[in-house]
Amino acid sequence: MSIVTPLTKLLGIRVPIVQGGMQWVGVPRLAAAVSEAGGLGILTALTQPSPDALRAAIRETRKLTSKPFGVNITLLPTINPPDYEGYARAAVEEGVRIFETAGNNPGPLIKFFKGNNCIVIHKCTTIRHAKSAERMGVDILSIDGFECAGHPGEEDIGGLVLLARAAQEVKIPYIASGGIADARGIAAALALGAALGTRFMCTVESPIHQNIKDKIIASTERDTIHIFRTLHNTARVYKNKVAMEVVEIERRPGGAQFSDIQHLVSGARGRLVYEKGDPDYGIWSAGVAVGLINDNPTCHELIYRLEKEVVGLVGELGRKAKL
């Protein structure tokens, strides 16, 4: 039995599994390994310091796999935005034809990609945003439930309900994202597909320090926390000393300004967590799926194992349904 879905047909992949875009993690070695194993690997554009560096990363990925892979471009709320247009143009000129967009006001990027015959996946956390992206012409939606790492939005809707509402409201394929890290989660989302972010952090090809992988393996679903709630920019991160300090500052009478916590949540500190292996040095994203992760396989081992287990689960469900 093979796993064929609208997602596998549209993206030209064997298994309906997409590696979520993760800053500092979505690098050529990981993206290529996921694609080579049959899923869709994703390079994270903003992991690269410039559009030219992204070009080099795309070329490096192509040396490692001949399979399809994509590029994530996340539009961040920032005073000095990156050169989004430059990243997008560089990737298209390098022949990338699958893109994942996320964040604020993706309309111009989506228009550019569709004008260049690209497939666009857009990540969203609400049904109204999903319907808006559908009207803009995206091909696939990534529906992020409250369980996801990073930014789950401000409405706190769990994936089970959010995905059921998406089935009612949207007509294009969508990926289930957030809280999925094992075969049962993929089987539950099998009608379309599943995006795995946190799970791919804990693979041999993931570029993060082994100490952080070990920390993920040792963690439970209770080991994440939300920050930025009072700033209306909620993010789910690993519950470490820095995250708890941020939450305490946010709970002060009168609340907090971003300037009060900026020194704690800088991206540079988060990157050093992955590079140096100190889990308490800075903020790093993690979803509740950490509670489902208990080993550090290669991407090939992980995807083939998940594929086998999903097929078995679906067959078992089919047999039970006939009883």
Domain ranges of the chain: 6-208+294-320, 224-285
Confidence category of residue 3, pLDDT binned at 50, 70, 90: confident
Q: Is the pLDDT of residue 321 over 80?
A: no
The fold of the 6-208+294-320 domain, in CATH, is TIM Barrel (3.20.20)
Q: Is the pLDDT of residue 323 over 60?
A: no
Closest listed residue to residue 265, CA positions, set 104, 106, 150, 145: 150
Average pLDDT over residues 55-62: 98
Q: Where are the beta strands (DSSP E) in the chain?
A: 17-19, 41-44, 69-75, 98-103, 119-124, 140-144, 174-177, 194-196, 224-227, 235-238
Q: What is the pLDDT of residues 277-307, one digit of tens each?
A: 999 999 999 999 999 999 999 999 999 999 9
User: Residues 277, 211: contact at Cβ < 8 Å?
Assistant: yes
- C-alpha span between 291 and 170 (Å, rounded): 31
Reduced to 3 states (helix: H, G, I; strand: E, B; else coil), residue 228 is: coil
- C-alpha span between 306 and 303 (Å, rounded): 5
Q: Is the pLDDT of residue 257 over 90?
A: yes
Confidence category of residue 76, pLDDT binned at 50, 70, 90: confident
Strands 41-44 and 194-196: unpaired
**Token code pair at residue 149:** 């790492």
- C-alpha span between 49 and 113 (Å, rounded): 21
Average pLDDT over residues 175-196: 88
Neighbouring residues of 148: CB distance < 8 A, sequence distance ≥ 6: 125, 159, 177, 178, 179, 197, 236, 287
pLDDT computed for residue 237 by the predictor: 97
Confidence category of residue 322, pLDDT binned at 50, 70, 90: low
Strands 224-227 and 235-238: antiparallel
